[in-house]
Structure 1
Amino acid sequence: MAEVQQEIVVYNALTHNALTHNALTYNALTHNALTHNALTHNGLMGNPFTSEALRDPESRELLSFIVSCALPEDEKITVEVDRRSYTFVGELGLAPEWGRRNGSCGEKCQEWVSACLLSRVNYRGEHVPISLRGKNDALSSTRRERDKYEEPEATYYGNVFLKNQRRFACLAPGQTSIPRVCGPSIDDCVVDVVGKCEDVCDGPRHDGSYTNCRDREPLIELPCGTRIFPRGTDSYKASVSVFLE
């Protein structure tokens, strides 16, 4: 397989309040005003829910990360709020279809962008470089990146665009906490830490990332390696695994 040229190293500083408590989430996303419309200037400003929500600084913070996760680096969105201009720049391109004319963000798009957003939360709002990896062409990593960012942290998945947000993480091998995202304890974390990735996900893949992660631990694992999960367990095809320097 040919080695990719672009490194998927980004800075994380999304605050948990911006993700969980802001007007963009509770006023706009729950009314489908954001996901049912294109992630464009017209799509944002042409809807009263999103245009009003963007008057809130935390909403603009969240939108900057949404655009960064969803759109490729050659795309950007500029909006005017209260006579002031704000520009949001694409970076990763996990859901480029959302930024096209008449675009929208369905379940697959929502899960990829959600996993990316969750992976970029920082408990202290600090800018820390992280390596993002997953089963998406936009997250293909270089060998140099994998060598530099070799400390596995956690895998993130869920859907923050639902009325009742689903925010999950699992621990990488050897890890017992996620201080970057959770702070001093995983008991009061912005994400529900459901267990070890090796227990709730498939993988790891060649780059160390995990896929098909579940929202709860298995009831039992059979000798053949098959895991039996409780009834009602949800699985997420989109997930983002984070590695640190």
Structure 2
Amino acid sequence: MAEVQQEVVVYNALTRNALTRNALTRNALTRNALTRNALTRNALMGNSLTSEALRDPESRELLSFIVSCALPEDEEITVEVGRRSYTFVGELGLASEWGRRNGSCGEKCQEWVSACLLSRVNYLGEHVTISLRGKNEALSSTRKERDKYEAPEATYYGNVFLENQRRFACLAPGETSIPRVCGPSTEDCVVDVVGDCEDVCDGPRHDGSYTDCRDREPLIELPCGTRIFPRGTDSYKASVSVFLE
């Protein structure tokens, strides 16, 4: 298989508050108004809910990361808020269909963008370069990237566009915490750390990423390797694994 040429190395500095406190509430970026319409300038500014929300700096911060995750690097959105213009630049292209005319963001789109957003939260709001990998063409990694960013951190998944946000992470083998995202403790983390990725996900894949992750640890594991999960366990096809230098 031919080696891809594009590296998936990005900055992370999305703050916890921008994701959880205001930006996806009735007072800011109304989730339904956002996902049911195209991720374009006309759709954003033509909807009174989203256009008014963009007066909030935390909403603009969140939108910048949504656009970065969803749209490819050759696309951008410029909006006018008050007397100022703001440009949001695409980068990864995990849900490029959202940016098309009459586009929208269904469950698959929401889960890919959510996994990307969760992976880019930084407890201190600092810029740290990370490598994102997963079962999506947009997350294909180069050998050079894998060699440089070889320290697995965690895998992120969920859906932040639901009324009750679903925010999960599992730990890479040998890890017990995620200081970049959670800070000094996982107890009050922006994500629910549900256990080791080897227990709750399938994989690892050739690039070290995990897929089909669940929101609970298994009840038991049978000798044949089959894991029995509690009733009500949800599984997420979209997940983003992060690697550090």
Q: Considering the TM-score relative to the shorter chain, is it more than 0.5?
A: yes
Deviation at 1:14, TM superposition (A): 0.2
Deviation at 1:29, TM superposition (A): 5.3
**Aligned length in residues:** 245
3-state SS of paired residue (1:18): helix
2:133 matches 1:133: yes
* CA displacement 1:90-118 (0-9 Å, x = unmatched): 00000000000000000000000000000
Alpha-carbon distance between aligned partners in 1 of 2:226 and 2:234, rounded to the nearest angstrom: 17
Alpha-carbon distance between aligned partners in 1 of 2:244 and 2:31, rounded to the nearest angstrom: 36
Alpha-carbon distance between aligned partners in 1 of 2:43 and 2:224, rounded to the nearest angstrom: 50
Which stretch has the larger CA shift, 187-196 or 14-23? 14-23
Alpha-carbon distance between aligned partners in 2 of 1:24 and 1:200, rounded to the nearest angstrom: 28
Deviation at 1:127, TM superposition (A): 0.3
Deviation at 1:212, TM superposition (A): 0.3
Residues 31 and 7 of structure 1: CA distance in aligned 2, closer, same or farther (over 3 Å): closer
3-state SS of paired residue (2:154): strand
- On the 8 A contact 1:8/1:139 being kept in 2, the answer is yes
Deviation at 1:22, TM superposition (A): 1.8
- On the 8 A contact 2:22/2:28 being kept in 1, the answer is no
Deviation at 1:26, TM superposition (A): 4.0
Deviation at 1:27, TM superposition (A): 3.9
Alpha-carbon distance between aligned partners in 2 of 1:231 and 1:29, rounded to the nearest angstrom: 33
Structure 2 residues not aligned, in runs of 5+: none
- On the 8 A contact 2:23/2:62 being kept in 1, the answer is no
Which stretch has the larger CA shift, 86-95 or 16-25? 16-25
- On the 8 A contact 1:30/1:161 being kept in 2, the answer is no
3-state SS of paired residue (2:69): helix
Deviation at 1:23, TM superposition (A): 3.6
Q: Name the structure 2 match of 1:161.
A: 161
Alpha-carbon distance between aligned partners in 1 of 2:232 and 2:26, rounded to the nearest angstrom: 26
Deviation at 1:28, TM superposition (A): 5.5
- On the 8 A contact 1:40/1:99 being kept in 2, the answer is yes
- On the 8 A contact 2:73/2:89 being kept in 1, the answer is yes
Residues 26 and 168 of structure 1: CA distance in aligned 2, closer, same or farther (over 3 Å): farther
Residues 81 and 24 of structure 1: CA distance in aligned 2, closer, same or farther (over 3 Å): farther
Deviation at 1:31, TM superposition (A): 5.2
Alpha-carbon distance between aligned partners in 2 of 1:19 and 1:174, rounded to the nearest angstrom: 28
Alpha-carbon distance between aligned partners in 1 of 2:24 and 2:52, rounded to the nearest angstrom: 9
Alpha-carbon distance between aligned partners in 2 of 1:31 and 1:2, rounded to the nearest angstrom: 39
Deviation at 1:147, TM superposition (A): 0.2
3-state SS of paired residue (1:73): coil
Deviation at 1:24, TM superposition (A): 4.0
Deviation at 1:219, TM superposition (A): 0.4
Structure 1 residues not aligned, in runs of 5+: none
Alpha-carbon distance between aligned partners in 1 of 2:141 and 2:103, rounded to the nearest angstrom: 28
- On the 8 A contact 2:38/2:102 being kept in 1, the answer is yes
3-state SS of paired residue (1:125): coil
2:177 matches 1:180: no
% identical equivalent positions: 90
Deviation at 1:217, TM superposition (A): 0.2
* CA displacement 1:175-218 (0-9 Å, x = unmatched): 00000000000011000000000000000000000000000000
Alpha-carbon distance between aligned partners in 2 of 1:29 and 1:162, rounded to the nearest angstrom: 13
Alpha-carbon distance between aligned partners in 2 of 1:45 and 1:218, rounded to the nearest angstrom: 45
- On the 8 A contact 1:24/1:53 being kept in 2, the answer is no
